[in-house]
Chain A
Amino acid sequence: EPEVTQTPSHQVTQMGQEVILRCVPISNHLYFYWYRQILGQKVEFLVSFYNNEISEKSEIFDDQFSVERPDGSNFTLKIRSTKLEDSAMYFCASVKREGVEQFFGPGTRLTVL
């Protein structure tokens, strides 16, 4: 069964460093999302992406964040200058054309020291 994959599973970085989190959505899906979950808290929407552009973003998704679909398979989230409060699980999700169910990846745990 196809699934969303994410790499790395765990990323440790120093405050102020740039990180890139990678996702490979399910191959025939057209809508892509990033969510984050701070430890012990609920999942929060960051950004949605369709047709090579951002369709919606939350207040969390400020100028430090960017997303890209550099090729036909990868979907990336970049944090330019990480802060301690960026430490969280980051989940990628995708939806197929005409679909509604969002399929989530296993997540990347980002730890900012």
Chain B
Amino acid sequence: GESVGLHLPTLSVQEGDNSIINCAYSNSASDYFIWYKQESGKGPQFIIDIRSNMDKRQGQRVTVLLNKTVKHLSLQIAATQPGDSAVYFCAETALGATSGSRLTFGEGTQLTVNP
């Protein structure tokens, strides 16, 4: 039968390992992409963003890669820590559209960091 709700993809890593979380987007018109972290019971928290005129952007311990050809986004977390355990969502929007454009969120990936 049909399942109720979604089963999040999961990624389990050891503390200190690097993590890679992937996301596919569908809207070719999207030109701005964001990664959000969501801890249990909390709202999405901004991690890093990238515009479509770039293919890579680095922050502190995080890197976002954008492949517009295959509409793929990834988040790399270096030296993953237990505090990184959360659900990670990618989001997209078209800044060239109306001001304050909506965000379209991806399905989310549950990252678990084992000490």
User: Which of A's residues lie within 8 Å of B, judged by CB?
Assistant: 4, 30-31, 33, 35, 38-45, 48, 50, 55-56, 58, 91, 95, 100-107
Contact = CB atoms under 8 A, between A and B. Distances in A.
A39 to B, nearest CB: 7
Contacts of B95: 100
Nearest to A30: B100
Interface residues of B, number: 28
A95 B46 CA distance: 12
Interface of B is mostly: loop
Interface of B: 5-6, 8, 32, 34, 36, 41-46, 49, 89, 91, 93, 95, 98-108
Nearest to A32: B100
Nearest to B106: A42
Contact of A58 (B34, B36, B102): B102
Contacts of A102: 34, 46, 103
B86 to A, nearest CB: 14
Contacts of A38: 5
Contacts of B108: 42
A38 B108 CA distance: 13
A104 B100 contact: no
B102 A42 contact: no
B68 to A, nearest CB: 18
20 contacts: A30-B100, A33-B102, A33-B103, A35-B103, A40-B5, A41-B6, A42-B6, A42-B106, A43-B44, A43-B89, A45-B102, A48-B101, A55-B98, A56-B100, A56-B102, A58-B102, A100-B32, A100-B95, A104-B43, A107-B43
